[in-house]
Amino acid sequence: MKQNLEIQIENIAKLAQAASRSLAALPSTVKNAVLEDFASALLSNQAVILKANQKDISESPGKGKAFIDRLSLDEARIKQMADSLLDIAKLKDPVDEVMRAWNTPGGLNIQKARVPIGVVAIIYESRPNVTADCIGLCFKSGNSVILRGGSEALNSNLAIFNVAKEVMQKHSLAEGAINLIATTNRQAIGYLLKLNDYIDVVIPRGGEGLIKKVVRASVIPVIKHSKGICHVYVDLDADLNMAQNICWNAKCQRPGVCNAMESMLVHRDVAARFLPGMLKKFKEAGVQIRGCALTRDIASWAKQATAKDYRTEYSDLILSVKVVDDLDAAIAHINDYGSHHSDSIVTDNNDTAAKFLKQIDSACVYLNASTRFTDGNQFGMGAEIGISTGKLHARGPMGLEELTTYKYLVYGSGQVRV
């Protein structure tokens, strides 16, 4: 016999599936009006949202600075959420876009057209702004959404969701257009991941433990948004001032997010010139360094790095550092130890840059720029569902187009096959 929670979640999925069929046909003008109203409502309800967020923070004693940063909202972040919704509203609606059209010798006209995926379930941790971003992107792309945020942000997520729900009701939209599983019961995820009759895709974003749990348990297709072990490689031909600015930004601007640098690689021939000043600056900012033997020869206070350190997403002011012999060694290290998220090279050598960009097997590969730009908003997508580190269907920041699939529309005039 099914438990009450299991029945509740199944009913949510059924409503979401029913709603997805009406959302697929919703005009862009209606979608944009809803998103604009949602943005306005976030701003007018910011006092309620901030109060809920403070409750979440007060219930997270002993958590680290980076964790609290991911969890925290303020007026500026709420405005960013609202601005992202307005940006999404301005973007071209991908639904019904004809990607390709052609005529067959038999007179059929075939069109390959974008359509919504259908029902998107998103399981995420910590960051409550994800709630607004995912609602906005799924709604604009014609999908219904089922959200299951982390228990640490439950009050914040509920406050944001309730604002969105009121806006949906104001526009007389289907009840299951947006859904939030508002329970801290961990069994909820297990129940959700069995509902392949109603849910078309699951997108987990969070720590490695969450991703592995979802991949193991799901009978629904999963688009993985795995950990961010991001690298910056300082090449032999790098502008070292530029390299210092990039490495500093990639690590320290916001260390608790998935596109922050976790490992810094430095060419052997520039290590003695680059590392002393760079590591001193990191030390003054409170960054713990875990380095190879050559790194520790330059900075004796650094801890000895282990293979585990090079495979760890710290999401904090901790950095692994390795001096490498050449470009090939850097590429091999990144492809072996990285998570295929975002990696950067700093160099003025065009041939070196071209080889790095081609051979690094990651979703986003940078030349002379910080990995912190791997973000849907920064990429001009308005916001993102997350950063896909897989290779099938979507890769990198997922925006509106990545939330669609396609179907073939075939127009005939009485043709039959012989």
Cα-based distances in Å from 128 to 124, 161, 165, 315, 354: 9, 10, 16, 17, 38
Q: Which residue has the higher pLDDT, 61 or 189?
A: 189
Reported confidence tier of residue 384, pLDDT bands at 50, 70, 90: confident
Whether the predicted pLDDT of 226 surpasses 80 = no
Q: What pLDDT, on a 0 to 100 scale, did the predictor assign at position 385?
A: 87
Q: Quick one: CA dihedral 221, 177, 375, 46, positive or negative?
A: negative
C-beta of residue 364 within 8 angstroms of C-beta of residue 379 = no
Q: 341-380 pLDDT, tens per residue?
A: 999 999 999 999 999 999 999 999 999 999 999 998 899 8
Shortest CA distance to 343 belongs to which of 256, 246, 269? 246
* Helical residues (DSSP H) of 194-233, grouped into ranges: 208-217
Residues with Cβ within 8 Å of residue 86, at least 6 apart in sequence: 35, 36, 39
Whether the predicted pLDDT of 1 surpasses 70 = no
Shortest CA distance to 405 belongs to which of 101, 24, 122? 24
Q: 206-225 pLDDT, tens per residue?
A: 878 888 899 999 999 999 88
Q: What mean pLDDT is predicted for residues 239-244?
A: 98
Widest Cα–Cα separation across the chain:
80
Whether the predicted pLDDT of 78 surpasses 90 = yes
pLDDT over 90, % of the chain: 87
DSSP 230: E
> What token pair was written down for 369?
């720029």
pLDDT over 70, % of the chain: 100
C-beta of residue 390 within 8 angstroms of C-beta of residue 224 = yes
> What token pair was written down for 227?
């950990």
At position 85, the amino acid (one-letter code) is: L
Q: What pLDDT, on a 0 to 100 scale, did the predictor assign at position 67?
A: 85
DSSP 253: S
- Give the chain's domains with CATH numbers: 4-225+385-411 (3.40.605.10), 230-373 (3.40.309.10)
Reported confidence tier of residue 62, pLDDT bands at 50, 70, 90: confident
Q: 174-203 pLDDT, tens per residue?
A: 999 999 999 989 899 999 999 999 999 999
Q: What pLDDT, on a 0 to 100 scale, did the predictor assign at position 393?
A: 83
Average predicted confidence (pLDDT) for the chain = 95
Whether the predicted pLDDT of 234 surpasses 90 = yes
Residue with tokens 């600075």, as numbered in its chain:
65
Q: What pLDDT, on a 0 to 100 scale, did the predictor assign at position 126?
A: 79
Q: What pLDDT, on a 0 to 100 scale, did the predictor assign at position 386?
A: 84
> What token pair was written down for 188?
């909820």
Q: Which residue has the higher pLDDT, 111 or 384?
A: 111
**E strands of 224-317, at which residues?**
230-234, 261-267, 288-291, 303-304
DSSP 229: -
Whether the predicted pLDDT of 324 surpasses 70 = yes
Q: What pLDDT, on a 0 to 100 scale, did the predictor assign at position 389?
A: 87
Q: Which residue has the higher pLDDT, 179 or 68?
A: 179
Q: What mean pLDDT is predicted for residues 327-348?
A: 97
Q: What pLDDT, on a 0 to 100 scale, did the predictor assign at position 60?
A: 86
| Range 65-72 contact pairs with CB under 8 angstroms and sequence separation of 24 or more | 65/256, 65/316, 65/317, 66/255, 66/256, 66/315, 66/316, 66/317, 67/126, 67/256, 67/315, 69/254, 69/256, 70/126, 70/127, 70/256, 70/257, 70/315, 71/126, 71/127, 71/128, 71/152, 71/153, 71/156
Cα-based distances in Å from 70 to 39, 43, 169: 21, 20, 30
Q: Quick one: CA dihedral 241, 362, 118, 209, positive or negative?
A: negative
State the Rg of the chain over Cα: 23
The whole-angstrom separation of Cα 131 and Cα 133 is: 6
- DSSP secondary structure string for all residues of 108-145: -EEEEEEEE--EEEEEE-S-THHHHHHHHHHHHTT-EE
Cα-based distances in Å from 134 to 75, 85, 215, 335, 365: 20, 10, 20, 30, 25
In Å, how far from its chain's centre is CA 279? 29
Residue with tokens 């849910």, as numbered in its chain:
199
Q: What are phi and psi of 77, to 5 degrees?
A: -70, -35
> What token pair was written down for 158?
């509920």
- Cα angle 401, 406, 410 (rounded to 5 degrees) comes to 140
The helices-and-strands tally (H runs, E runs) of the chain is: 15, 16
Whether the predicted pLDDT of 66 surpasses 90 = no
Q: What pLDDT, on a 0 to 100 scale, did the predictor assign at position 345?
A: 98
